[in-house]
Amino acid sequence: MTHSSSPLAARVRHVEALLESRGLVDPVELDRALEAFLARASPANGARIVARAWVSDEFRARLLDDAGAALADVGLSMGGGLQVQRLCVVENTPAVHNVVVCTLCSCYPIALLGPSPTWYKSPAYRAQVVRDPRGVLESFGFSPDGEIAVWDANAETRYMVLPMRPGGTEGWDEERLAGLVTRNGLIGVAPV
């Protein structure tokens, strides 16, 4: 089943049509708002956050304690939709590697990671990463040491992984560090 043919997508289209028919929503304005949001939604946003956390212990601590407040420090937010979601940032360490999933649908911090990859929305990924996270990571060509923690996103809370800073990057500026960070690293299915 594709995203656009899912029962939820059909319900959303039905509600949108009702709102339009009653003059409560202008379809052109709705399209413009969506396009503007998606134009700003990018994995580069998450990469900027990670790079800042790698160079600033103060920002890193704030990010891990209250990610929503920390986002404002870099001019970002979890807003843009009908509801503001809470962002929880989980930090990879030598002992624990984090990976993110949404087992119910495909909840995902679009503003920070860009549109979600197709595999993230697939029922196979959503089910298997909970049962066999190590096997899923190996299918991505990644085999972390230590414990693997799986974080299940939902309608209210989205997760983003703070990867470990690669060795040999001491003295690098934020822009150069941000260039190392990938969307898959922010989800936890790839190293950085």
Cα–Cα distance measured from residue 109 to residue 130, given in angstroms and rounded to the nearest whole number: 19
Nearest one of 181, 190, 112, 187 to 152, comparing CA atoms: 187
CA dihedral for 109, 66, 83, 72, sign (positive or negative): negative
Name 96's bridge partners. 147
Residues 6+ apart with CB under 8 A from 132: none
**Cα-atom radius of gyration of the chain, to the nearest Å?**
18
> Which residue among 77, 105, 116, 139 is the active-site one?
105
Nearest Cα to 175, choosing from 40, 35, 68, 74?
74
88 is catalytic: no
Q: Which of 102, 122, 139, 143 is catalytic?
A: 102
Q: Exposed (0-12), middle (13-18) or buried (19+): which is 54, by Cβ within 10 Å? A: buried
CA–CA separation, 155 vs 102, rounded Å?
9
Active-site residue list: 102, 105-107
